[in-house]
Chain A
Amino acid sequence: MFVKTKATAKETAAVFIARQINNGDYISLGTNLPVPAAGVLLAQMTHAPDAKINVLSYFVNLAGIESFPDLGQIANPSVARWADGIMSVEQLIYGIRRMDLCFTGGLQIDQHGNTNLIGIGDDYNNLKFRGPGSVGTSTIMANCHKFFIYVHDHSPRTLVPKCDFISAYGWGNGGADSRSKLGLPGEGPKYVISPKAIMDFDDVNKNMRLKHLLPGMELTDVIQSTGFDLIIPEHLEEFEPPSEIELQILRERVDLKGYLRENKE
């Protein structure tokens, strides 16, 4: 039932994530991030059968499974059927330094990769919107080797010059030494992935920089949809589009319900 249509922006983003994953990486998957989850599953089903995937403190291996039932419900105890083992959350928290890759989202993401899950507004005791809270992102993003930020909504409301509150520290106020000065062991945010574009950070000032436009997206739209001056390189790197086999696995084994094929952000 593989329908050979062009890859959507979200499918392309998932393929980008999959290609960043090395076989054997230890990856922690949070909740409500279907695009990163799809990327990790695609990597596991192709070149990374030895990736260690931690979901809800279950260490699962999905390399050999026929298909994953519901990408929107990945943090669900039903994953126990594919678990090699279970650790307590306390053990996970105290063993993060082995974690290679994690993901976080945010109500706001700023130009230096700091993220905010706490709330929107100037006054903490009178917030315009109370966010869900930091979960474990502060501790995990401080310690894991590297992390990617996923943006559900690429707009000036979400991609802001400065977060109202910071739940996970990225590059602070900028500068390549901002994390080492605080003693944060992890290498910080590497990529920011939205439904419009893939971004990374300038090596020196750690300001966010456009890396790839996703299929069907216009440069002017991405610039206008970003609430700060995104660094635009003179030559945008070409991204090799998803292969037929990558798309087939995404559609037939990873994302049966079509979360990545919806048009909405």
Chain B
Amino acid sequence: MSRQQLVISLPEAAAMIKDGNSVGIGGFVTTNKPMALLREIMRLRTRNLTIIAPPSSMEVDMLLGLGMVEKLITPYLGAEAIAPLGPFHSGWAGKKFSIEEMELGTLVAGLRAHAMAVPFIPTRGVVGTSIPSLNPTLRYVEDPFGGPPLIAVPPIEMDVVLIHASQADCYGNVQHLGATFIDQLMAQAGKKVIVQVERIVSSEEIRRQPENTTLTSEYVDAVVLTPYGAHPMASQNHYRVDAEFIKEYVRVAKACVKGQPELFEEFVTKYLDNPHGHAAYLETVGLERLFSLGEGA
């Protein structure tokens, strides 16, 4: 009997996400975001999603702008020095989608609680802040050893986790070749894990340096080949963030929340709906632009 191969197509991967699912998005702010997977899900306009993400950027703002999100759980949404975003920073929060106020240490505790199958993990992190009063899932809990009260963070569940990494073999052994942020924790806490990679390599290539493996196949359900798949975000060891692209998005998203949706709709048509498949998206962006993002350029 031969080993099971996990490589599937983008449409097959996107079909794994159903209306009403909770979806975890890996990466960190503008680095290693599973954009190709997200674009395919956005094309389907899968609805009523709960999004769980570490610090994130325009990919989550776009999901909000497309009306796909019911609840958002993230400690940060922005584009760092580039600019504030559209729907997230607008008056849409609390109306078109709800926010479960979150903080990074608290998110880590909730994901770890789920991975460990314990009812909560105590943390000191948000004691004294407004976050326990804004997030109804958090509770103050007595310290059984007599110290001041702590915050109990309950398990955070995810139906599907989407991750971007550098390379994997066809059996689902993944190597980031750079920072992993909280991708490993998310994979341990997720029900299903889909990893998009810049390249698929041989099993021998992975085994040459197994210490570089960041997710063993135990934690991976599917692998999708998506070269340049993090664009416009950075992919560690491969290409830099396309700041001009994010600026363009911010411009159309801001106009959209001010009641002028036309430019946002044009953007969505051009980059999401018209290109049929990942290669067509890359052709729309253009090789010259993609190559100019090479590390050190």
Contact = CB atoms under 8 A, between A and B. Distances in A.
Given A32-B81, A133-B75, A142 B185 contact: no
A135 B104 contact: yes
B215 to A, nearest CB: 12
Contacts of A89: 28, 54, 104, 108, 181-182
Interface in B46-105: 54-55, 74-78, 80-81, 84, 88-91, 93-95, 101-105
A132 B76 contact: yes
A76 B240 contact: yes
A224 interface: no
Interface in A138-184: 138-140, 142-143, 165-169, 172, 181-184
B94 A169 contact: no
Given A138-B129, A139-B105, A32 B181 contact: no
Q: Is the interface of B mostly helix, strand, loop or mixed?
A: loop
Contacts of B78: 132-133
Interface residues of B, number: 56
Interface string B93-131: 111000001111110100010000000000111111111
Interface string A58-88: 1000000000000011011110100000101
Contacts of A127: 91, 93-94
B88 A130 contact: yes
A139 B148 contact: no
- Interface size range of chain A in the complex: 35 or more
B167 interface: no
A73 B75 CA distance: 20
A80 B236 contact: yes
Nearest to B78: A132
A134 B131 contact: yes
A184 B178 contact: no
B31 interface: yes
Interface string A22-66: 000000000110000000000000000000000011100000000
A12 B148 CA distance: 41
A136 B31 contact: no
B76 to A, nearest CB: 4
Interface in B178-205: 178-182, 184-185
Contacts of B126: 138-139, 142
A183 B89 CA distance: 33
Contacts of A169: 127-129
Given A89-B28, A125-B94, A138-B106, A78 B240 contact: yes
B266 interface: no
A89 B296 CA distance: 25
Interface string B1-41: 00000000000000000000000000011010000000000
A98 B10 CA distance: 43
Contacts of A56: 28, 31, 179
B124 A136 contact: no
B162 interface: no
Interface of B: 28-29, 31, 54-55, 74-78, 80-81, 84, 88-91, 93-95, 101-106, 108, 112, 123-131, 134, 143, 147-148, 150, 178-182, 184-185, 234, 236-237, 240-241, 295-296
Given A77-B234, A138-B106, 8 more contacts: A80-B236, A88-B180, A90-B185, A132-B78, A133-B103, A134-B75, A135-B103, A184-B127
4 tightest CB-CB pairs across the interface, nearest first?
A139-B105, A139-B125, A136-B104, A125-B94
